[in-house]
Amino acid sequence: MKQHHLSLKTKDAVTGFLFTLPALAGLAAFFVVPFGITMKMSLTESMGSSKFVGLKNYSDVLKSAAFKLAAKNTFKFFGVALPCILILSLLIALLLFRNLKKYDIFRTFFVFPLVLPVSSVVLFFQIVFSDLGVVNGVLEHLGMHAADWTGEQAFWVLLILYLWKNTGYNMVLFLAALNSVPPDLYEAASLDGAGWWKKLTRITLPMIAPHTRFILVISIVNLFKSFREAYILFGDHPDQSIYMIQHFMNNNFINLNYIRLSVGAALVFLVIFALVGLLLGLRDKDEGGHE
């Protein structure tokens, strides 16, 4: 005898799919298809012909000294910036969380950097960090040597810029994460005589782990976006210390070498894929197949 209606599980699945359909359709049209085009371009010979040359372009790019430098610097920058911002914004969120009503004004302050437009931020940083700028002036006054902030120290300028701009962003997200921890857990721990360190490491951190993964992804997205300021401040061919994959891609774009640009893009995608795969893989383990 046939069932009169679909099982609840299947009905649910279909509904779920339908809910996500608009987002997926948009994704397909404006992200999947374009990326497919990029991948295809990365396998062609040159802009003038559409001969398929397989992985030759990839080996060319991977052998390039510029690409290797860019990759190294990008990993280095990400490796430093991401832990810094996560720790910093978590710290601030923890501080604010102690008494949200009282510290509310600070929360507004921390969001200010987000609303300032890029051109203004750049102007400010130029005034502060240029050769004759404020920082060098102070250093000289204190008897120290003025530094070349567009040279080797550019790394730190970029880092400070990124941290300054995005800490507020992450802080807001961390606050929401902290809020999701049920307060009775803390009360129970207090009754057991646990101090703040134990509470932090045994309750807070594990509980906000899924949120943290999420915030990490967002931070990576913002890190990519932060290169806009880097271009304006340091130009197309900056000092070797901050030459990153974005510069590689952008300069090839300027020289109309889209093939090379696509290869770079595909490689970036692969790396992100590996990272995200690892992150989500870990999540699966944590939540024990809750999905």
Q: Which of residues 196-215 bind other proteins (CB under 8 A)?
A: 196, 199-200, 204, 210-211, 214
Q: Mind giving me the DSSP string for 64-87?
A: -HHHHHHHHHHHHHHHHHHHHHHH
Question: Tell me, what DSSP letter sits at residue 44?
Answer: B
Under the binding rule (CB under 8 A), the answer on residue 7 touching other proteins is no
For other proteins, what does the binding mask look like between residues 228 and 267, x meaning CB under 8 A?
--------xx--x--x--x-xxxxxxxxxxxxxx---x-x
User: DSSP alpha helices (H): ranges in 98-145?
Assistant: 104-115, 118-129, 134-141
Of 14 and 83, CB closest to other proteins? 14
User: Tokens 């990519």 appear where?
Assistant: 224
CB of 1 to other proteins, least distance (A): 27
Binding residue for other proteins, selected from 84, 86, 146, 159, defined by CB under 8 A: 146
State yes or no: residue 31 binds other proteins (CB under 8 A): yes
Whether the Cβ atoms of residue 128 and residue 146 lie closer than 8 Å to each other: no
Q: Which residues 152-181 are close enough to bind other proteins by CB under 8 A? A: 164, 167-169, 172-173, 175-176, 178-180
**Cβ-based nearer residue to other proteins, 1 or 101:** 101
Count of residues interacting with other proteins (CB under 8 A): 150
3-state secondary structure of 52: strand
**Gyration radius of the chain over CA positions:** 24
| Contacts of 43 by beta carbon, 8 Å cutoff, 6+ apart | 52, 53, 54, 55, 57
Residue 1 or 285 having the CB closest to other proteins: 285
Tell which one of 46, 79, 198, 286 touches other proteins (CB under 8 A): 46
